[in-house]
Amino acid sequence: MTDTNYPSATNTPQTEPSKNNKSKNLIIGALAAVVLGSWGYFLYDKNKAGDKIESQQSTITTQGTEIADLRQDYDNALTRLDSLTGANNTLSGENADLKAKYLKDIEAKKAEIRKILNDKNASKAELAKAKTMIAELNDKITTLESEVARLTGENQELTAANSTLKQEKSDLETNLATRTSEKQELEKTVDVASTFSASNIQVVPVNERKSGKEKETTTAKRVDKLVVSFDIENRIAKSGPADMYLIVTGPDGKAISEGSGTLSTRTDGDRAFTARIPVNYEQGKKQSVQFPIKQSGFNTGDYRIEIYHNGFKIGEGVRSLKKGGLFS
């Protein structure tokens, strides 16, 4: 039997299938590596994105907290400012210049701070600027508070001084009123005390004869005049002119006046007087006064003579005239 050298099935070479398997394994490994790499990258990217979001959220939260803090600081500053600039505070009236001086700059800062805090997209730089401006605003308000405290203290001192002056003025006015009243009372006392007194009052009816001689008579139809005489004296009255007033009332109850005038008396009202007698008085001395009362005819009856000085009656007397007989 001839040996033919054919390869047997069991002896077929295994090189080709092994290579294929190896290639497949390499491909699978490569694909697995790619898949694993992709998943790894995906997981890395996802984690990175999560970190970024978390960072952004943290930034937003931090920024929100910062804005809230700034708003709180700003609101606190406004509260301080409102307490100084209210309607009934010490920055009214005479302190208007101080108010205008500080509030103009403060209002400008307030407007810029509000603009930044109301901006949702405000940057860190802008927020930092707002923080600085709020600090400056507080400094301004602190200065303003100091000025207000100083002016308030000065105002209180002025108020106290004014109150003292008002009290002193009131006391002076009271003292002046008292002294004025006392002065008026004293003047009244002196005025009354300086009124003359009259004494030794005499009324002599006189008949004037053709020869020029005068003779006392009590017969009414023969009387040509009534000669009134009296003495005056006062130890207080100063030397100088003084006026004595005579009021002679006839039997008919009417004053002999002949248009002399009216005298305002202190106790008897206004009265028509008969004569005003000017006297040049010398202080401390008794002085005699004489004055004749004349008229066209005298009637029978009583003639009452009253003497006035300084509005007061200082003396009076009565003289009776009788009806004459057939040969009187």
Share of the chain above pLDDT 90, in %: 30
* Residue 190 in tokens: 């002196």
Burial of 121 (0-12, 13-18, 19+ CB in 10 A): exposed
Overall pTM > 0.85: no
| CB-based contact 321:218 (threshold 8 Å) | yes
- Which position has the higher pLDDT, 137 or 281? 281
Helices (H), the chain: 15-85, 96-117, 124-193
Q: For the domain covering 197-321, report its CATH number.
A: 2.60.40.10
Residues of 92-102 as b/e, b for ≥16 C-beta within 10 angstroms? eeebeebbeeb
* Cβ count within 10 A of residue 219: 16
Checking if the pLDDT of 328 tops 60, the result is: no
pLDDT tens digit string along 74-83?
Answer: 888 788 777 7
Give DSSP secondary structure letters for 243-289: EEEEEEE-TTS-B--TT--EEE-SSS-EEE-SEEEEEEE-TT--EEE
| CB-based contact 318:302 (threshold 8 Å) | yes
pLDDT tens digit string along 87-103?
Answer: 445 555 555 666 666 67
Phi-psi region of 61 (alpha: psi -120 to 50; beta: other; left: phi over 0): alpha
pLDDT tens digit string along 135-179?
Answer: 988 888 888 778 778 877 888 888 899 889 999 999 988 998 888
All CATH 2.60.40.10 domain ranges of the chain, comma separated, are 197-321
